[in-house]
Amino acid sequence: MPPKRKNDAAIKVEDVGMEIDVASDSGSEDEARRRAKNRRAKPQRKSKPVSDHEEDEEDEAPRKRVRKKKAKPQESDEEDEEDNRSVKRKRPKASRKKAKEESEEESEEDRDKRKKRGTAVSKKEKEKQNKEKMGNVKGKQGKNMGGENDKKKKNVKLSSSSSSSSSSSDSDEESLSEGEIAALKEQVEEKKKLIATLRNKPWRMKRRLVLLKEAQGFVEEFEGALGKGKGRKLYAFKVMMAKKLIKFKRDFENFKTACIPWERKIKDVESHFGSSVASYFIFLRWMYGLNMVLFGFMFGLVVLPEILMGLPYGSIPRKTVPREEQDTAMDFSVLSDFGGFCQYSFLFYGYYNSDRMIGVLKFRLPLSYLLVGVGIFGYSLMVVIRTMARNSNEGGDGADEGEFTFSWKMFTSWDYLIGNPETADNKYASITTSFKESIVDEQENQKDENIHLRRFLRVLANFLITCTLGGSGYLIYFVVKRSQDFAKMEQDKLSWLEKNEVEFVMSLLGLVCPPLFETIAELEDYHPRIALKWQLGRIFALFLGNLYTFLFALFDEVNEKLETEKSIRNATIWALEQYYANYSSHFNTTDVPPPNVSPADVIRGPCWENAVGIGFVKLVVSDIQVSYLTILVGDFLRAVIVRFLNYCWCWDLEAGFPSYGEFDISGNVLGLVFNQGMIWMGAFYAPGLVGLNILRLLSSMYYQCWAVMCCNVPHERVFKASRSNNFYMGLLLLVLFLSLLPVVYAIMTLSPSFDCGPFSGQERMYDVVMETIEQDLPSFLSNIFSYATNPGLILPAVLLMLLALYYLNAVSKGYQQANMDLKRKMKMARDEEKNRRNNKDSTNQVMKDLEDLLPNKSLIPPPIKEEPAPPDVVIAKGSKSPKIKPGAAAKGVNLQKDVSLAAPNPRAPVTFAPGPRRGPPGNARGPHPGPGRGRGRGGPPRRHES
């Protein structure tokens, strides 16, 4: 850069700086108003702003070129003019607020004026023309300031365009007829829509901001004018409320996102391990949210009422530890098995009293208990299905696998979340491998050398796995049976292992079997993705089998307990009768007081619900212990050993055999899903389980985050996260359904214990509902219910549902067919259009937007065809930092401000690369200083030599 220019420019800026600032400030407000006014008359204009801009630019170009010739002499005049104007406008540096107020005032005035439009039109028109001129002038000056020049340019463009069209439109505006109001309304709606969808538009932020401002101004201005006469106030009120509502919604949205926990933690994990590992943590978080709600239900509607309003501990037998257990009730070993005080606390079913109503609020606890128990399932089902539906919308619509193998790999395989060098390296490697695999596949299409051997191996593998599954099922059954025998023996004689055998064995199986399956699966030699599916399916089967065996064994136990309970019940009833008989014969009275026995001494039944609840809680706890221990030993200890023993070992531990652990996504997800299944099943018998689960998830979040960041390495083979979200959800749904079955079965068929729990004394649990319907609801409602439960009505209802199912199924098939047809048609149409188009002009909006996203044309040296421009044109446009080179900017504009502006927007097909590297051929007019250079940070990096 020649140094003298700097001086020159500095002076210029000193001279001009202030005025420009002022002028532009007040001017832009002015313009905004004007624009808003004019916009009313051009509805179609708004719909295609892009093309308009272009036109404007083209319109403007010649005009400016003409003007440019006398740019220099005019300069001072213009300045004067500007100065005057700014004086008129109540002085420079009017802060924005002030200007805005002003503009608002004026817009009101405008509105008034509009009413008595007839006379004012001509005057107004003149005014407008004046303004237009100024606008242009200003535009030129605006360019002096390197800073805001772009924006202003746009403003000018807009204003000039609007004013050019305004003269024709003004006459239309004179009277606001019905039709016009309707049109106006439509436009306002359109604007609103634009505001709402602005974020989805692929435009530059600047343009978006400008458009937003415009649209908002427009809406603001005309919304009020829409209502008429009486309706106006109401309308204004409505508009105001709508605005408030929007604001509130946004604030609420902000609040909601602020409430989402662990955003940063997950981001850390994500950037280290890619989206697949993070998807597990997101799933964990989702689960936490779900469980929080369940916890809210359980504690808010069941546990708290019972604690606050129910009878206190020790008042009735079910809330008291029996005499023979009281000595050991506080022992740690007993408590850790959830015996002793735990067993008779609010954590378990048995604690709850069967009074129909409790407390001053007359809270119907038994009813609430049943409804919450069922409601938990209902809510979970709803949430899971809703999430699945939402996820399925997001996923790609799934072309046939293999249609786009290479292009998908090319364009969608990089995980943009990765921010860790190691992961990135792994990703590079895995992408390379997958490409190579695909190439090999493509080249030979998998010739099977010995298909018989492979088949045999696969059958063998499946046989082995089936055996393992059966074996594990039997083992569990055996263990549960044995534990029942143990339970009958004296507790003191049993070792810890014998007491916790069931949980221990189940956890052990869960730990050992998956790796075993993986080893067996080696035999099969499937493609990794298919292998993964098999593996998941097998682990799923294992867990499920174990869980159900456990359940069946439990049901055996329950039935046994029901038998003993019956005898105990008979015994108690008999004892009571004896007592009554004795009492009445002894004191010779019929008014017998109840037997005075301490609640701790009352004979009581085994309370099978508590036993089931304890079983589930123990299972969950041991699951937690095992999984945490696995992490601690399998990941942390291993990492420590590998890290520190590596200094004195004969081979490289880090790269060689033990190496660091990888995060086992599928295993963890399945673990979480099954844990949730146990919670669902157990929550009915142990309300405290939900709370326990909350703690588990919470600690697990922190613990696993720590573990994964501290001792795991990124995957070498990256587990496909594709649609895995819905995959997890599908698993969850299945587990939910499977855990729903036993609970509902128990509620419907087993009779509750006679002396514990909220349903004691009822024949069936759901009798609570019946009772409520009969006693508390108005009689006609209970009538309706009795009709509704009539088999004669249920049968037709079921039939109807089946029919509806059939119908909907048929309809959905029809839709699918139509969908396919449409897709095919679309494809055909696309082909046709392409053939027709000859790559000449792009017709659709998206293409235009796309082109608009090309680097700003005006920042690039003009093609050689144009009249040779002085070198500083580009500088003027390009240098964005007036701080550093204000001079160049100012001068450049003064000399030659229009060429670059006049360069048409790249609407025409772009056949040359606009980038700097190809530059204008023969552009010997000196360097092309990009903004980067302007800042003295070295030129723009040119990386993409093609």
Cβ proximity to other proteins: between 198 and 770 the closer is: 198
Q: How far is the CB of 873 from other proteins (least distance, A)?
A: 15
> Whose structure tokens read 């605005």?
243
Cβ proximity to other proteins: between 254 and 333 the closer is: 254
Cβ proximity to other proteins: between 415 and 623 the closer is: 415
Q: How far is the CB of 249 from other proteins (least distance, A)?
A: 11
- For 123, the 3-state DSSP assignment is helix
Q: How far is the CB of 209 from other proteins (least distance, A)?
A: 6
Q: How far is the CB of 882 from other proteins (least distance, A)?
A: 8
* Nearest-10 crossing angle of helices 96-115, 3-39: 40
The yes or no reply on residue 774 touching other proteins (CB under 8 A) is: no
Cβ proximity to other proteins: between 229 and 936 the closer is: 936
Cβ proximity to other proteins: between 808 and 850 the closer is: 850
Q: How far is the CB of 855 from other proteins (least distance, A)?
A: 2
The yes or no reply on residue 65 touching other proteins (CB under 8 A) is: no
> Exposed/middle/buried for 134, CB within 10 Å: 0-12, 13-18, 19+?
buried
The yes or no reply on residue 863 touching other proteins (CB under 8 A) is: no
Cα–Cα distance measured from residue 543 to residue 547, given in angstroms and rounded to the nearest whole number: 6
Cα–Cα distance measured from residue 107 to residue 358, given in angstroms and rounded to the nearest whole number: 65
Cβ proximity to other proteins: between 221 and 270 the closer is: 270
Cβ proximity to other proteins: between 391 and 751 the closer is: 391
Cβ proximity to other proteins: between 496 and 912 the closer is: 912
- Residue among 148, 220, 524, 662 that touches other proteins (CB under 8 A): 148
- Residue among 237, 248, 428, 745 that touches other proteins (CB under 8 A): 428
Of 319, 348, 380, give the one whose Cα is nearest residue 615: 348
**Contact (Cβ atoms closer than 8 angstroms) between residue 686 and residue 342:** no
Sequence-distant (≥ 6) Cβ neighbours of residue 195 within 8 angstroms: 212, 215, 216, 219
The yes or no reply on residue 923 touching other proteins (CB under 8 A) is: no
Cβ proximity to other proteins: between 543 and 663 the closer is: 663
Stretch that binds other proteins, among 53-61, 297-305, 316-324, 399-407 (CB under 8 A): 399-407
Q: How far is the CB of 100 from other proteins (least distance, A)?
A: 9
Strand spans (E) along 692-756? 712-713
The yes or no reply on residue 408 touching other proteins (CB under 8 A) is: yes
- For 661, the 3-state DSSP assignment is strand
Rounded to the nearest 5 degrees, what angle is found at the Cα of 847, between the Cα atoms of 909 and 841? 35
Sequence-distant (≥ 6) Cβ neighbours of residue 871 within 8 angstroms: 925, 926
- Residue among 6, 265, 499, 935 that touches other proteins (CB under 8 A): 935
Helix (H) / strand (E) containing 456 = helix 451-488
Cβ proximity to other proteins: between 393 and 596 the closer is: 393
Cβ proximity to other proteins: between 230 and 937 the closer is: 937
Per DSSP, helices labelled H in 70-116 are 71-88, 96-115
Cα–Cα distance measured from residue 564 to residue 570, given in angstroms and rounded to the nearest whole number: 10
Rounded to the nearest 5 degrees, what angle is found at the Cα of 12, between the Cα atoms of 9 and 16? 145
**Contact (Cβ atoms closer than 8 angstroms) between residue 423 and residue 274:** yes
- Residue among 813, 912, 926, 927 that touches other proteins (CB under 8 A): 912
Sign of the C-alpha dihedral computed for residues 860, 864, 865 and 870 taken in this order: positive
Sequence-distant (≥ 6) Cβ neighbours of residue 774 within 8 angstroms: 782
Q: How far is the CB of 881 from other proteins (least distance, A)?
A: 7
Q: How far is the CB of 255 from other proteins (least distance, A)?
A: 9
# chain residues binding other proteins, by CB under 8 A: 106
The yes or no reply on residue 92 touching other proteins (CB under 8 A) is: no
* Nearest-10 crossing angle of helices 665-683, 365-394: 150
The yes or no reply on residue 940 touching other proteins (CB under 8 A) is: yes
Q: How far is the CB of 146 from other proteins (least distance, A)?
A: 7
- In Å, what is the CA distance from 46 to each residue of 35, 39, 50, 210, 338? 12, 8, 9, 13, 70
- Residue among 77, 331, 442, 601 that touches other proteins (CB under 8 A): 442
Cβ proximity to other proteins: between 225 and 913 the closer is: 913
- Print the binding letters for residues 719-748 with other proteins: x by CB under 8 A, - otherwise: -xxxx-------------------------
- Residue among 419, 599, 634, 658 that touches other proteins (CB under 8 A): 419
Cβ proximity to other proteins: between 4 and 823 the closer is: 823
Q: How far is the CB of 643 from other proteins (least distance, A)?
A: 24
- Print the binding letters for residues 821-860 with other proteins: x by CB under 8 A, - otherwise: ------x--xx-xxx---x------xx-xxx-xxxx--xx
Enumerate long-range contacts of 736-742, CB under 8 Å, 24 or more apart: 736/377, 736/380, 736/381, 736/384, 736/676, 736/677, 736/680, 738/544, 738/547, 738/548, 738/677, 739/677, 739/678, 739/680, 739/681, 740/377, 740/381, 740/680, 742/551, 742/555, 742/681
The yes or no reply on residue 394 touching other proteins (CB under 8 A) is: yes
**Contact (Cβ atoms closer than 8 angstroms) between residue 472 and residue 502:** no
Q: 215-274: which residues touch other proteins (CB under 8 A)?
A: 250, 253-254, 257-258, 267, 270-271
The yes or no reply on residue 405 touching other proteins (CB under 8 A) is: yes
The yes or no reply on residue 941 touching other proteins (CB under 8 A) is: yes
Cβ proximity to other proteins: between 72 and 823 the closer is: 823
b or e along 289-318 (b: 16 or more beta carbons within 10 Å of the residue's beta carbon)? ebbeebbebbbebbbebbeebbeeeeebbb
- Residue among 378, 515, 595, 909 that touches other proteins (CB under 8 A): 909
Write out the two tokens for 797: 């209802």
Cβ proximity to other proteins: between 204 and 764 the closer is: 204
Cα–Cα distance measured from residue 375 to residue 687, given in angstroms and rounded to the nearest whole number: 13
- Residue among 261, 314, 395, 656 that touches other proteins (CB under 8 A): 395
Q: How far is the CB of 641 from other proteins (least distance, A)?
A: 29
Per DSSP, helices labelled H in 145-204 are 149-172, 178-197
Q: How far is the CB of 215 from other proteins (least distance, A)?
A: 9
**Contact (Cβ atoms closer than 8 angstroms) between residue 33 and residue 106:** yes
Q: How far is the CB of 695 from other proteins (least distance, A)?
A: 28
- Print the binding letters for residues 685-724 with other proteins: x by CB under 8 A, - otherwise: -----------------------------------xxxx-
- For 346, the 3-state DSSP assignment is coil
Q: 871-890: which residues touch other proteins (CB under 8 A)?
A: 878, 880-881
The yes or no reply on residue 146 touching other proteins (CB under 8 A) is: yes
Cβ proximity to other proteins: between 20 and 611 the closer is: 20
Q: How far is the CB of 712 from other proteins (least distance, A)?
A: 18
Cβ proximity to other proteins: between 272 and 618 the closer is: 272
For 69, phi then psi, to 5°, come to -60, -40
Q: 173-212: which residues touch other proteins (CB under 8 A)?
A: 195, 198-202, 204-206, 208-209, 212
**Contact (Cβ atoms closer than 8 angstroms) between residue 642 and residue 654:** yes
- Residue among 24, 26, 275, 905 that touches other proteins (CB under 8 A): 275
For 358, phi then psi, to 5°, come to -130, 150
**Contact (Cβ atoms closer than 8 angstroms) between residue 617 and residue 686:** yes
Stretch that binds other proteins, among 494-502, 619-627, 789-797, 925-933 (CB under 8 A): 925-933
Beta bridge partners of 661: 712
